[in-house]
Structure 1
Amino acid sequence: MSRRVRKMDEFIGGDLYSHLQAAADLVVIADEHHVHRQQARAFSSAVRDLRPRALVGLTATPDPADEGKVIYRYSLAEAIADGLVKVPVIVYRQDGHKDVATQLADACHLRRIKEAAYATWAEGEGRTPVNPVLFVVCQTVEEAKQTSNLLASESYIGDPAAVLEVTSQSSDDALAALASVEDPDSPIRAVVSVDKLKEGWDVKNIGVIVALRALASEALTEQILGRGLRLPYGRRVGAPMIDQIDLVAHDSYRKLLEQKDALIQRIAPTGDSAATGEPLQPGPAKAAAKEAAAEIQETPEQGTLRLVTPGRLIDGEHVDGAAALILQDYMVTEAQGQRDAEEYRVLQRVPGAPQIVFPRREQEVLPVRFSLSLVSDTDVRAAGAGFAQEIKIPLIREALTATRTLDGGVRVRREAQEAGEATQAWLPLARVTNDLENRLLGLGLVEESLAELNAARRVVQAFLAGAGAGANSEVNWGAERAHQALQGIDALIRQRYNARRLQPKYAFRTVTMPVEPQPMPTDVLDRFATKFERGRWYSGWRKSVLPVASFDTNSTERALAEILDGATDIAWWLRLQATDPAFIELDTGGRYYPDFIAIDTSRVHWLIEGKSDRDVTRRDVEDKRGAAEEWARFVNDDSRFGVWRYLFCSETAIKNARGGWHSLLVTARAS
């Protein structure tokens, strides 16, 4: 620990170390925690002597002695499935050539292809190009020197200045060059190291890895593979040459298959974090890793075997599995790279597809106001049900009777008689409707606007429907019933006004969907050609606004797409992504991204969400559903954006629809 932390600091009245020791709420977060424990005991002691309330260690390789202290695990497989890092691809040859020279030559060739793919994508997106680097791991210093000399020759990298050798004997200049290898101006195109580099060297431009004389399962370690996992542009871009890290193994395919379980256990979850976040002890954790490996699904394609992890929880929601590891023939990898390098393609609407104007409702910093759009049809219908019958006006009849008292006087008293029914005026339903609307707008609780007028009409229609007064059911209302109805709807609206949420005013801002242009994914499959895999892009749609779409779940999102694409009453549909500007703001400050927008042949716009049965009753899901239903009411009451409806579909509702759109409207009870 630096001595500077023990020097006097006039701003805190002492040295920093003592100040931290005295802090009652100190929490220390230690990155590379295993290093502090094993190799820097003095540093570890200094940290622990601070006596923090909590010491949280972060590490990819916990010390065996610390296994019992692990409170949460996030496996490499989870990071890969969540799209936070590259997908590892083990590249093999089927022709039996696995000598070092061939392995390095193939790796250099793949690096050049990746460089072209990186440049093509960067130019199309207007981004700074990233130079992919080859990372070679050797076992000895002598092997590293031989490898560096070979790579510098004309048939490989072809430039000694572009090959950086890093060993225990390396100079300070070499270490400085290593630190700056991801700079755009760096000349380095290959890094040759002995064993593994020290912790702390994490760059984003490793494109190809070669572990000489090491089996693929041994090379798939956090220290070696981890060097190349960072995404060069901070996110997946849809181009395999950029989104994947190639590990050139050149073991035979048969040998790789024999190692399949060992390979997947290198990256598979070793605890229960995917389900609960709770860790397992070392013994059960290893058993869990084997169990996870056993649940891996194999998705074979031409020259490619994708190992897909089982479904799991993400932010509390269940999603399907994604590829965590790919075994691929060298020729297939080369061909894919050539496609990625040849042209930058733009993802845009199919011919004839419309642009969708989405009315996004945004908060404005304005005084709180009340709107009739906050009143739901369900509540109004329930209130109207109390006025389903005519109200009779009683005609009170009393008789005055006189009787003699004992002293001869007369006592007069009132005596109730059987009541009669008074006559009353009958009002046309149109007048009742008009009176109710005027009462709502005359309360002084809402602003004078077309939106509130439309909302008042909607509320009154729902109220009358609750009272059984449909368009064809009644002609006239009794005056007393009409009067009491006015009092009833008045009380309902005042009650809603007094219980209104303290929320800012919202304003609509239109956004045009889909966002154009955007890069076209190159790893696209026909929707009928393979098993479902989360995150893959699928083509072959007839009514999708875009030619390709990707999904997180098969039983809800993918199934909804199939229903929409086959429905005769659906004109177009668009799969929404979490990066799209079409979202609904929540009162909590968050955002809700629905799954689809669909346009039916009557030009009604549908905002659609699919959820697994186990997620339907979650509180956050119910909050999003309520926000979307409220959003739809506001949009329709505004009347500038056409008719929008919200459709929430459970897994069971989708299944029971049996592929039919009309059936889905019934099973999901469209609102």
Structure 2
Amino acid sequence: MPRRKKDSDPSQQDLLNVAVQLRTAPCVPALREAVQQWRKQNYKGATETTQLLLQHWFQRDHRGFNGRPFAYHAFQREAIETLIYVWEIAKVRNRAALLEKYTQSLEGVRLPPFDGFSRYAIKMATGSGKTKVMSLAIVWQFMNAAREAEEIAKDYARTFLVVAPNVIVYERLKTDFEGSRIFRVDPLIPKPLEIFWDFDCVLRGAGERAHYEGMLFLTNIQQFYERRSRNNDEEPEEMTGMLGKKPSGQKLEITDFGERIAKRSGHLLVINDEAHHTHEEGNEWNQVIRRLHEQTPLAAQLDFSATPRFQKGAIFPWTVFDYPLKQAIFDRVVKRPMKGVAKMQESKSTIASVRYKAYLTAGVERWKEYRGLLKPLQKKPVLFVMLSDTAEAEDIGHWLRDKYPAEFGGEQTLIIHTNKTGEITKADLDKARKAAREVDDEANPINAIVSVLMLREGWDVQNVTVVVGLRPYSAKANILPEQTIGRGLRLMFRGANSGYDERVDIIGNKAFLEFVDDLEKLEDLTFDTFEIGKEKPRILSIMPVEEKKEFDIAIPQLTPSLVRKKSLSEEIAGLDVMQFDCAVLPMKEGDLAEKNFKFEGYDILTLKKILERQYTLADPQTAQEVIGYYARIIAKEVKLPSQFAALAPKVREFFEHKAFGKTINLDESAAIQAMNSNVAQYVCVQTFKKALLDKTIAEQEPVLHTTARPLSAMEPMPWSRKVYEGRKCVLNLVPCGNDFEKAFAKFLDHAEDVKAFSKLPERFGFAIEYTDAAMNLRYYYPDFVAIDQQGVHWLLETKGQQTEEVSHKEHAAQIWCANATVLAGVPWRYLKVMQTAFASLRPETLEDLTVLPQA
């Protein structure tokens, strides 16, 4: 695992931490603190639409289209929260204001000469899912434009332009946006807001479409201009090779996107992907965007990049969020780089295949080891070799084909040729684009890629397991360390809780490893090492075993017993507000109701002190203003915004006949003033919320949806953590998340009354619906399943401590077992096993565990 050179607790970082200031953009530390505080305040000041979206994205469980758990990463959440905060809450509308508000000092900071609209850079490590954050930003802007009142909605974007720097990046983005795929597959749109989603994605070259309220145009920047020939003031060849040539000044309109955008009403949001060159204010890329702004005002320009740096290494000062490669490695969001160590030397020869033979052989042997380990998982590894020039690449490519014909012969080795400027030659461009899309496919023949350059942006190759670097890099190109190594770090196995810590092995000559050292210095970490030829890679394949089929366990598939209601109109209409159990509200200070007030254990003075003003309803003129506002808050709290119209009459009835202990005239000024208080708001909202929350989730009678699904149907999965080799488990190895799970697996394996058992990996996909304390619909994944000698099936949960959340899961599991027993005709029981109780009891049989206390 990469090691920090200095241990630090991120929660203790503050604005006086100079080290943090130096390692990131000047605005990031202060913004990070502000966003954390804003989250603690439950997104105070955000629009109702924004709050609903944030709640849906990050406070509910989701399952992907493949049935497996889906969750946005914490850093993706922080990225979109930061964008929302700086634009919607802080209302920073240009880069000068951003720097003045969030930097400690403007000394040495370049102030931009063109600053006519909001522009923010988002720094996210390669492979960390920038496109996910783009899609969140698009939905946030459009939903506010479509749903909020016109006074608010007019500032948000209805039109979106996503710009790629080259065709390869364009084609990667096309995979997500073609046919609006990402908006259909990811849980971006809450069901109550689907009615507002009138949206289409238009790709480069597509003709006119029918009108949609929201429209996204996807293209590459070359569609707006043509690059000019290289001259002396451009970037070094190494940087050009990695990033593509700089945008030039010769304009050549070959698309009508600009004209089509101009015809649309409202604001435009521009998203630049891999926006490495956008710091050059005068280049054609930025001029294109400024021309668009003149015809269609920009809501904002978002620059996404793993390396938004100037040539000398400093991060763009308008960067608002920074998720560095170092953190991505620690979070296991990308592969863990491992440096190969060996006493190898270059041979004294001008022929590359002779000079670098030792390094190449070591790389090939390492690749072979990965090939054997990955074969049961139906994945193939890719070897990547970097050379100094085209002639060397050609020589090494032919050497691989001739020396290892079975592994790298013919089309199994791809040689990417570059011209003298470092660009992929036109003859090889189609091959490179095709390889970028297909090389990870198990059926694709390519096993090795040989090139002068490391994978450029847009090469989303996930299966790179071995990188052999045999070229030096110029010190002039400070941006290259992150770009070069980062291209090989994308995960091969993605998904929640995979249990496998992926790695990429780096083998190189002295010059290349010195270059890798520069990355370690830049990221303030030290890569682990392995001894070439001695330390073997380790990948455990967890899979069912045919010889152990007698220990297979089938789990019945039931339809959900809990679903979120889309409408509560009838339930709301049936509410009897006179039966609400709540304190009588005072009409004025000092009256009898104020003296006798008690609500949720608080008296009136205490409640006034602990409540901050949560709304901005200044001096309402009518009771209906207050009633409407409270109805919207209640609808948001119970997560059914479409029920506002149904709630408003009930809120009026509550205040008119119940809240003040008598019937009052709501049109009187005293009544309006009494309604418009922190205490009145709190009592009204909490009382309605209590009455409605248990009605937002509908219980339905489950049915046996399909035949039972056996554990033997589980696909093989990689694992690199603790395992137990169980005799009575259909899997070859029992995957264990911690020592307690391993001890429990051993206990089940040895218990005489247990016929068969298994861990239930999340990858298997078995989950039980339940609701948490806030009535969010969640999914619970039990730990173990077992069958005793009497044929009783058990769901078993191992826990270190009891929490309220555990109680909700336990209740749902007990209901599932009761339903499964009736529907499947097989007895099912649930048992929770606390770690301390297990250690004290020292059970020998499953029956012994039944004496343990349950909730």
Q: TM-score, normalised by structure 2?
A: 0.42
| Paired position in structure 1 for 2:425 | 171
Once the two structures are superposed, what CA deviation does each residue of 1:227-283 show, in whole Å capped at 9, x if it has no partner? 33445686799999x96543223779xx99x999988777xxxxxxxxxxxxxxxxx
Decide whether the 8 Å contact of 1:92 with 1:250 is kept in 2.
no
Distance 1:161 1:117 in 2: 19
Is 1:180 paired with 2:429?
Answer: no
Structure 2 alignment gaps of length 5 or more: 1-162, 165-202, 213-257, 348-354, 566-690
- The alignment partner of 2:787 has SS state of strand
Which residue identity does 1:606 align to in structure 2?
W
Which residue identity does 2:803 align to in structure 1?
T
| Paired position in structure 2 for 1:395 | none
Is 1:594 paired with 2:782?
Answer: yes
- The alignment partner of 1:627 has SS state of helix
CA offset at residue 575 of structure 1? 0.3
CA offset at residue 505 of structure 1? 2.3
| Paired position in structure 2 for 1:271 | none
Distance 1:11 1:219 in 2: 43
| Paired position in structure 2 for 1:302 | none
Distance change (3 Å), C-alpha of 1:232 and 1:43? same
Decide whether the 8 Å contact of 1:91 with 1:250 is kept in 2.
no
Once the two structures are superposed, what CA deviation does each residue of 1:626-652 show, in whole Å capped at 9, x if it has no partner? 3213223334566822141232x4555
Is 1:32 paired with 2:32?
Answer: no
CA offset at residue 194 of structure 1? 3.1
| Paired position in structure 2 for 1:18 | 262
Structure 2 residue corresponding to 1:506, chosen from 681, 697, 702? 702
Structure 1 residue corresponding to 2:762, chosen from 537, 561, 578? 578
Distance 1:570 1:660 in 2: 11
- The alignment partner of 2:813 has SS state of helix
Structure 2 residue corresponding to 1:138, chosen from 387, 401, 412? 387
Is 1:224 paired with 2:484?
Answer: yes
CA offset at residue 172 of structure 1? 0.5
Decide whether the 8 Å contact of 1:237 with 1:243 is kept in 2.
no
Structure 2 residue corresponding to 1:540, chosen from 706, 719, 725? 725
- The alignment partner of 1:641 has SS state of coil
Distance 1:538 1:513 in 2: 21
Alignment of 1:170-319 (within 5 A): 170-181=424-435, 182=438, 190-213=448-471, 221-230=481-490, 245-249=504-508
Distance change (3 Å), C-alpha of 1:499 and 1:61? closer
| Paired position in structure 2 for 1:391 | none
Which residue identity does 2:819 align to in structure 1?
F
Distance 1:667 1:251 in 2: 64
| Paired position in structure 1 for 2:813 | 628
Distance change (3 Å), C-alpha of 1:601 and 1:612? same
For the aligned residues, what is the CA RMSD? 5.5
Distance change (3 Å), C-alpha of 1:642 and 1:500? farther
Is 1:106 paired with 2:106?
Answer: no
CA offset at residue 596 of structure 1? 0.7
Decide whether the 8 Å contact of 2:412 with 2:445 is kept in 1.
yes
Distance 1:569 1:592 in 2: 27
Distance 1:180 1:39 in 2: 33
CA offset at residue 594 of structure 1? 1.0
CA offset at residue 211 of structure 1? 0.9
| Paired position in structure 2 for 1:73 | 323
Decide whether the 8 Å contact of 1:9 with 1:15 is kept in 2.
no
| Paired position in structure 2 for 1:617 | 803
| Paired position in structure 2 for 1:43 | 285
Distance 1:559 1:345 in 2: 18
Once the two structures are superposed, what CA deviation does each residue of 1:52-71 show, in whole Å capped at 9, x if it has no partner? 54554433223334467343
| Paired position in structure 1 for 2:558 | 361
CA offset at residue 210 of structure 1? 0.9
Once the two structures are superposed, what CA deviation does each residue of 1:556-599 show, in whole Å capped at 9, x if it has no partner? 53343344345455443210011214322346665322111123
Distance change (3 Å), C-alpha of 1:5 and 1:107? closer
| Paired position in structure 1 for 2:308 | 62
- The alignment partner of 2:467 has SS state of strand
Computing the radius of gyration from Cα coordinates, the structure with the larger value is 1
Which residue identity does 1:17 align to in structure 2?
I
Distance 1:656 1:71 in 2: 48
Distance 1:221 1:659 in 2: 55
| Paired position in structure 2 for 1:564 | 748
Decide whether the 8 Å contact of 2:384 with 2:448 is kept in 1.
yes
Distance 1:569 1:140 in 2: 68
Alignment of 1:412-491 (within 5 A): none
Alignment of 1:77-156 (within 5 A): 78=328, 82=332, 86=335, 88-93=337-342, 100-111=356-367, 120-121=375-376, 132-140=381-389, 144=393, 147-148=396-397, 151=400, 154=403
Distance change (3 Å), C-alpha of 1:107 and 1:235? farther
Distance 1:605 1:586 in 2: 21
Decide whether the 8 Å contact of 2:755 with 2:787 is kept in 1.
yes
Which residue identity does 2:560 align to in structure 1?
Q
Distance 2:724 2:387 in 1: 43
Distance 2:496 2:820 in 1: 34
Distance change (3 Å), C-alpha of 1:195 and 1:73? same
Distance change (3 Å), C-alpha of 1:349 and 1:598? farther
Decide whether the 8 Å contact of 1:576 with 1:594 is kept in 2.
yes
Distance 2:820 2:365 in 1: 56
- The alignment partner of 1:180 has SS state of helix
Which residue identity does 2:342 align to in structure 1?
R
Distance 1:140 1:598 in 2: 60
Distance change (3 Å), C-alpha of 1:345 and 1:625? closer
- The alignment partner of 1:198 has SS state of coil
Distance 2:263 2:799 in 1: 51
